[in-house]
């Protein structure tokens, strides 16, 4: 069956909702395709606070943040929402094939907004030696099971990875009465936000084992325990110093991977640093008419940024359809020093937007850093950061005029 629409938004989480909200203000037909049974995406299972501090100037829980956006989007008449619908195929010419219980749909929108979010790195990706018993979960799956299905994954829990999801789940499981024996982190510094380290681990005396990793899994049918070992400066485990930790559940919080399988099928070039599409200031990918926002673009640490990205993607998808965006030339955004990645990765001219928001992540934690914006070799602007951490994104809104007179842009971060 054919479906006529102007903009398809793949994903009804915070990225999709924000882009629908901003695109919906114009009178174009918008279709949100969501594979779950309700909108809100991952927010529905994130029942802890920490959402909306920037956007709403209030601290909300995930479901509250989602409900505000859902209520706004549902009010807009030209936005249609399809739930329990899955996009099977995405083509470079923007054609989509989607499926739901009414049948198979062929859709040819004028613009596509990618808002598919991300998935978690799995136990299999880590290739941890040992057995393969029941009791090993990614932290996100455990979160869904506890917060939406109402079940404890286990009674004695070890968490591998000190990313935010792992820390949040440490607290959650403790509150549900499980024993959390510790969090194991391979690097010498923790991966999550400091407030989570304090409010999830310190508050409950849950030990954090830095520079350690899980080296063996034991248990035939159900997990019985794991061996952890310290790692050397290259990240290699020192097996001779391994020790056994008894547990019946292992939660993995070892990284998020943007879900770009559909983007790759549509032949949209992917940046191997962000694992998301290359985009310009419009959040338009190298393939015209495709936009990306949220965790599919790069893994964000605050949902507020996802919403900001969604608003831009939606606004620019409309501009694109109206013919306002013309890519006459483009320049790459170069980065060096302690900067590991940047979005957007290039600027298209004419710039059109009054300002460009840049998102950076650093490679290493450092005190007293400076971030320079250079045009050629000339430093145009400098920002000072008393502390930078890989877990905390750096976001800069820069007036577009700065980029008008140049064809060589570099951001570099050094220690002062």
Partner 1 sequence: MTLLKKLTCIICPLGCNLEINEDKGELKILGNKCERGIKYALEEIKNPKRIVTTTVRIKGGIYPVIPVKTSLPIPKDYIFPLLEKLSEIEISAPIPIEYKVLENIFNLGIDVVTTRSMHKKED
Partner 2 sequence: MDVIIIGGGIVGTLIARQLSFYSLRILLLEKESDIAMGATKANSAIIHAGYDPMPNTKKAKTNVRGNKLYETICEELKVPFKRNGAFILAFNNEEIKMLEELKERGKRNGVMGLEIISRDELLRREPNINCEVKLALYVPSSGITNPYLLAISALENAWENGVEIHLEERVCNIIKERNGYIVETNKNIYFTKYIINCAGIYADEIIKMIESNSSFKIIPRKGEYYVLDKKMRNLVHSTIFPTPTPISKGILVVPTIEGNILLGPNAHDIEDKEDKSTTQEGLKEVWEKAKKLIPNIPFSSVINTFAGIRAVSNYKDFLIEEFNSARGILHFAGIDSPGITSAPAFAEIAEEWLKEKENLRLKKNFKRERKKPLYFRELTNEEREELIRQDPKWGHIICRCEHVSEREIIDYIRHPLTPKTLEALRKRLRVGMGRCHGAFCTPYILRILSEELGKPVNFFTLKGGKSKILNGENKMRWRYAKRD
- The interface mask with partner 2, positions 3-22, x = CB under 8 A, is --------------------
Please give the Cα distance from 407 to 331 (Å, whole number).
6
Please give the Cα distance from 275 to 259 (Å, whole number).
9
Number of residues that bind partner 1 (CB under 8 A): 33
Q: For partner 2, which residue of 7, 33, 35, 311 counts as binding (CB under 8 A)?
A: 35
- Under the binding rule (CB under 8 A), the answer on residue 49 touching partner 1 is yes
Starting at the edge strand that comes first in sequence, how are the strands of the sheet with 212-218 ordered? Answer: 212-218, 225-230, 243-246
Q: What is the distance in angstroms between the CA of the first residue and the CA of the last residue of the chain? A: 61
Least distance to partner 1, CB of residue 50, Å: 10
Between residue 85 and residue 114, which ones bind partner 2 under the rule CB under 8 A?
86, 88, 97, 99-104
- Partner from partner 2, partner 1, none contacting 390, C-beta within 5 to 8 A by type: none
Q: For partner 2, which residue of 38, 74, 75, 151 counts as binding (CB under 8 A)?
A: 151
Q: Which stretch binds partner 1 (CB under 8 A): 20-28, 132-140, 173-181, 280-288?
A: 173-181
- The interface mask with partner 2, positions 211-230, x = CB under 8 A, is ----xxxx-xxx--------
Q: Which of 386, 399, 313 is nearest to 358 (CA)?
A: 399
- Under the binding rule (CB under 8 A), the answer on residue 36 touching partner 1 is no
Please give the Cα distance from 193 to 181 (Å, whole number).
20
Q: For partner 2, which residue of 2, 77, 177, 205 counts as binding (CB under 8 A)?
A: 177
Least distance to partner 2, CB of residue 281, Å: 30
Cis omega (within 30 of 0) on the bond before 134?
A: no
The helix (run of H) or strand (run of E) holding residue 292 is strand 290-292
Between residue 373 and residue 392, which ones bind partner 1 under the rule CB under 8 A?
386-387, 389, 392
**Cα diameter, the chain:** 66
Q: Is 284 exposed, middle or buried (0-12, 13-18, 19+ CB in 10 A)?
A: buried
Check: CB of residue 345 under 8 Å from CB of residue 273: no
- Under the binding rule (CB under 8 A), the answer on residue 54 touching partner 1 is no
Between residue 184 and residue 213, which ones bind partner 1 under the rule CB under 8 A?
194-195, 197-199, 202-203
- Under the binding rule (CB under 8 A), the answer on residue 146 touching partner 1 is yes
Alpha carbon of residue 302 to chain centroid: 9
Least distance to partner 1, CB of residue 393, Å: 11
What is the gyration radius of the CA atoms in the chain, in angstroms?
22
Q: What is the SS3 assignment for 195? A: helix
- Under the binding rule (CB under 8 A), the answer on residue 48 touching partner 1 is yes
What lies within 8 Å, CB to CB, of 116 at 6+ separation is 10, 11, 258, 259, 260, 262, 296
Phi, psi dihedrals of residue 137, rounded to the nearest 5°: -135, 155
Q: What is the SS3 assignment for 49? A: strand
- Partner from partner 2, partner 1, none contacting 38, C-beta within 5 to 8 A by type: partner 1
Check: CB of residue 45 under 8 Å from CB of residue 62: yes
Q: Which stretch binds partner 2 (CB under 8 A): 9-17, 150-158, 312-320, 397-405?
A: 150-158
- Partner from partner 1, partner 2, none contacting 129, C-beta within 5 to 8 A by type: partner 2
Least distance to partner 2, CB of residue 334, Å: 25
Check: CB of residue 68 under 8 Å from CB of residue 17: no
Q: Which stretch binds partner 1 (CB under 8 A): 123-131, 168-176, 229-237, 345-353?
A: 168-176
Which residue ranges make up the site for partner 1 (CB under 8 A)?
37-38, 44, 47-49, 59-61, 63-64, 66-67, 146-150, 172, 175-177, 194-195, 197-199, 202-203, 386-387, 389, 392
Which residue ranges make up the site for partner 2 (CB under 8 A)?
1, 35, 84, 86, 88, 97, 99-104, 119-120, 122-125, 127, 129-135, 137-138, 140-141, 144-146, 148-155, 176-178, 215-218, 220-222, 239, 248-249, 261
């Amino acid at each position: 069956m054919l479906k006529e629409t102007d903009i398809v938004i793949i994903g009804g989480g915070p990225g999709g909702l924000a882009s629908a909200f901003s695109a919906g203000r114009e009178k174009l037909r918008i279709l949100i395709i969501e594979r779950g049974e309700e909108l809100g995406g991952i927010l529905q299972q994130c029942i802890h606070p920490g959402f909306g501090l920037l956007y709403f100037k209030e601290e909300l829980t995930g479901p509250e943040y989602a409900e505000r956006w859902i209520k706004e989007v549902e009010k807009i008449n030209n936005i249609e929402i399809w739930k329990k619908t899955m996009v099977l195929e995405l083509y470079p010419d923007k054609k989509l094939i989607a499926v739901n219980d009414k049948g198979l749909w062929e859709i040819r929108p004028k613009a596509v907004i990618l808002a598919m979010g991300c998935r978690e790195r799995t136990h299999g990706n880590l290739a941890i030696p040992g057995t393969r018993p029941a009791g090993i979960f990614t932290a996100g799956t455990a979160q869904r099971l506890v917060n939406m299905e109402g079940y404890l994954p286990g009674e004695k829990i070890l968490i591998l990875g000190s990313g935010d999801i792992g820390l949040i789940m440490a607290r959650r499981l403790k509150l549900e009465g499980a024993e959390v024996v510790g969090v194991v982190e391979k690097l010498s510094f923790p991966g999550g936000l400091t407030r989570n380290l304090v409010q999830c681990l310190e508050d409950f005396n849950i030990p954090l084992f830095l520079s350690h990793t899980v080296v063996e899994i034991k248990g035939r049918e159900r997990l019985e325990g794991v061996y952890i070992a310290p790692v050397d400066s290259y990240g290699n485990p020192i097996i001779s110093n391994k020790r056994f930790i008894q547990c019946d559940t292992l939660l993995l919080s070892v990284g998020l991977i943007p879900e770009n399988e559909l983007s790759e099928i549509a032949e949209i070039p992917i940046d191997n640093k962000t694992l998301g599409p290359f985009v310009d200031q419009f959040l338009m990918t190298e393939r015209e008419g495709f936009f990306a926002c949220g965790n599919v673009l790069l893994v964000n640490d605050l949902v507020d940024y996802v919403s900001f990205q969604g608003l831009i993607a939606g606004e620019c998808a409309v501009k694109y359809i109206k013919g306002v965006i013309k890519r006459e030339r483009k320049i790459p955004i170069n980065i060096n020093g302690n900067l590991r990645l940047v979005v957007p990765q290039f600027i298209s001219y004419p710039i059109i937007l009054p300002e460009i928001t840049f998102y950076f992540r650093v490679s290493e934690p450092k005190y007293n850093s400076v971030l320079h914006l250079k045009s050629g070799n000339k430093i145009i602007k400098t920002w000072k950061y008393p502390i930078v951490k890989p877990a905390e994104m750096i976001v800069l809104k820069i007036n577009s005029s700065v980029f008008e007179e140049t064809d060589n842009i570099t951001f570099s971060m050094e220690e002062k």
